[in-house]
Structure 1
């Protein structure tokens, strides 16, 4: 019994580290994406490159080293289609919001998603929601706002796609959790990315888009595809094997903290006292959830 408890604790901390690493990589991505858009690279093109690269890379690696992970039954296909649509949708809405507003606004709007996720889970009763989840969510939302309030840049189109992005993050978290029960997370990401690419390629064929011509742009695209798509999404879905969806959703809100500090380092954006307070609140929210969320006495009926 003690061995099982110790194993569960280790898995929980591993899940904690995986989602934090994924969020760190995503936080860096916003600044890189903004640099691409400043060079007139289309958000739709970036999405298609991300999905195509992720799908092809994973299929090649898994086909060689873990072919058994790629085997599917007919019952697994609907959940993979849902995941693919969510993955394609969330990447476009986030990147489009960045192009229409700025990194801070896009990240904040997207990371209101824990409120959507927790409200849905509480309503449907699909997962136990603890007081620590609500408290952690409140800390994260308030802290996230303090991180970006000085640089919020709202446009009508950016606000709309930012809100849609938040709902899609909640959606792909739930879809990723469902897929992970039937398919290995890396295989789920491979199929989901392939489906997402096919959907976007049908809606906007790649040959109709303007392709980058500079080597620097392709290097940025390669970085975004590998370090902001393949690796972090894989880590995120792996974390859902060991942590509840609500916990993962709140932990992922450390991304605005990372995004702000990267923008400070790369784009030389100033950090205010309010941002430091906000960063501390986001981190506190993550710690509250990780340390207390799974204790039964905190459950909210």
Structure 2
């Protein structure tokens, strides 16, 4: 029994690490599309959600031929939860994060998004689901300090951004916290492909009423633009969110959100390697702190369970 639990936990760790990594790399690719191909934020959010949602639901139907894709909608309770998760979770976390980047910069946007572990722990404390432990404090401290150093290279001056960038960034952190917590009951009843697929399709459909994805001038697109866009759809959206949400079947929302700090790590690494952005000493220290947090969650807590 203990071996089965450990295998499921290992699978959860692998899923959240891959999901966060794909999301981080996808952010770097999106930055390239914004800066060099003049792709609008709203268009990218609506189109990526629609296409990724359709692909995920199709994948579920291919792998579960006898099952109905509409099973979530058979009761009012699950239908309401799915709609709320789609709008306040999936759509909100996508749109608020991209808006914070567009108005401010990716460093501040990502740093504010990773207030999510604090929001999650605050929720559990207020609802008395759990108490704040010393281990929680250590993990959160390593995450926030490491992410700050990684994204700013230790300089507070990089945090000087318009108020609205901070506003959208904090909303992004709240959305990620809601996303991580609210999905758990749905995952206990339905396959993660359906939960994520429908949330993307609903979010993209609602977004389309305000920013139509079919209104785009493709004449300026190059072959590389198409490749980068497909990467964002498949890896940066579809697989990133599917893997992250699937990990919540095996990990707590607190653990998943903390391990999600691999997102800024992969974003910085790909920016240094691909976009030729410099990498400072404080960023190296931040990287070590994030890796230390991951080691702490995977090794120390395993020892705690074995006692």
Q: Same fold (TM over 0.5)?
A: yes
Match of 2:23 in 1: 26
Does residue 47 (structure 1) correspond to residue 45 (structure 2)? The answer is yes
SS, match of residue 189 in structure 2:
coil
One of 234, 259, 264 as aligned partner of 1:256? 264
Cα distance change on mapping 1:281 and 1:69 into 2, 3 Å: farther
Cα distance change on mapping 1:117 and 1:292 into 2, 3 Å: same
**What is the distance in 1 between the residues matched to 2:178 and 2:61?**
28
**What is the distance in 1 between the residues matched to 2:130 and 2:247?**
16
Match of 1:218 in 2: 226
Match of 1:188 in 2: 195
Once the two structures are superposed, what CA deviation does each residue of 1:147-181 show, in whole Å capped at 9, x if it has no partner?
12245452222111111111100111112222211
Match of 1:78 in 2: 80
Aligned residues: CA RMSD: 2.1
Displacement of 1:195: 1.1
Moved more, 173-182 or 11-20: 173-182
Match of 1:125 in 2: 128
Counterpart contact for 1:102–1:153, Cα < 8 Å: no
**Can you give the 5+ residue segments of structure 2 that lack an aligned partner in the other structure?**
none
One of 191, 206, 209 as aligned partner of 1:199? 206
SS, match of residue 176 in structure 2:
helix
One of 133, 148, 151 as aligned partner of 1:148? 151
Counterpart contact for 1:83–1:192, Cα < 8 Å: yes
Does residue 5 (structure 1) correspond to residue 2 (structure 2)? The answer is yes
Counterpart contact for 2:46–2:212, Cα < 8 Å: no
Match of 2:64 in 1: 66
Matching of residues 215-294 of structure 1 within 5 Å: 215=222, 216-293=224-301
SS, match of residue 255 in structure 1:
helix
Displacement of 1:212: 4.1
Displacement of 1:297: 11
**What is the distance in 1 between the residues matched to 2:218 and 2:175?**
28
Moved more, 152-161 or 34-43: 152-161
**What is the distance in 1 between the residues matched to 2:132 and 2:10?**
19
Cα distance change on mapping 1:230 and 1:19 into 2, 3 Å: same
Displacement of 1:184: 0.9
**What is the distance in 2 between the residues matched to 1:57 and 1:47?**
16
**What is the distance in 2 between the residues matched to 1:268 and 1:153?**
23
Match of 1:168 in 2: 175
Using the size of structure 2 for normalisation, the TM-score is 0.89
Using the size of structure 1 for normalisation, the TM-score is 0.91
Displacement of 1:128: 6.1
**What is the distance in 1 between the residues matched to 2:246 and 2:131?**
20
One of 33, 36, 40 as aligned partner of 2:33? 36
**What is the distance in 1 between the residues matched to 2:68 and 2:22?**
25
SS, match of residue 281 in structure 1:
helix
